[in-house]
Structure 1
Amino acid sequence: MDPQAVLTMGQNALFLILTVAAPILATVLGVGLLISLFQAITQIHEATLSFVPKLVAAIAVFALAGPWMLTTMVEFIRSTILAIPQHAV
């Protein structure tokens, strides 16, 4: 396997990780921003007030986007495994 093929596979893997993680990260970021704004306005600084909504939002995104995430990752792994004989020396 030549170095270019390894770098391409690594680049594709990193892009897949970013693509799969983006919905969860964006949701948790948005919820955290809203909770921080609420805490700044009301001057209530409770740690659980920011943790619990983020956890609930992440679970909701997992429930909605989980099948897509799993399918995307399985297809990438399948194509990577099937490409091994083509790149073998």
Structure 2
Amino acid sequence: MSEGHIFDILRQGLWVAVLISAPLLMVALVAGVAVGLFQALTSVQEMTLTFVPKVGAMIAVFWVSMSFMTSTLVSFFADRIIPMIAGG
């Protein structure tokens, strides 16, 4: 196994990590901006107001996108990692 092959698999693994984490990060960003805008407009400075909606939205999106995340990770391992371990 060459150094370039290892770097290619590492690059693909990092891309899979970006794909898997993107839905959660995007919903956390949108929820954070929406709650921050709401707090700025109403002058409500409650600490739990920033945490609870963001966590609730992230749990909902995680539940919806769990099959996408699992299939992406399983296909990466089945197509790239397991053949590399098997020597193919």
Percent identical: 35
Amino acid at match of 1:81: I
Name the CA distance, whole Å, in 2 between partners of 1:38 and 1:72: 35
Q: Which residue of 1 aligns with 2:82?
A: 81
Name the CA distance, whole Å, in 2 between partners of 1:73 and 1:67: 10
Q: Which blocks of at least 5 consecutive residues in structure 1 are unaligned?
A: none
Q: How many matched pairs?
A: 86
Name the CA distance, whole Å, in 2 between partners of 1:65 and 1:8: 26
Moved over 4 A (4+): none
Once the two structures are overlaid, the 10-residue window that deviates more, 9-18 or 73-82, is: 73-82
Q: Which residue of 2 aligns with 1:64?
A: 64
TM-score, structure 2 length as denominator? 0.93
Q: CA RMSD in A?
A: 0.9
Q: Which blocks of at least 5 consecutive residues in structure 2 are unaligned?
A: none
Name the CA distance, whole Å, in 1 between partners of 2:10 and 2:76: 12
Name the CA distance, whole Å, in 2 between partners of 1:58 and 1:40: 22
* Secondary structure of the structure 2 residue equivalent to 1:81: helix
Deviations 1:69-88 (Å, cap 9, x if unpaired)?
Answer: 011101111221123313xx
TM-score, structure 1 length as denominator? 0.92
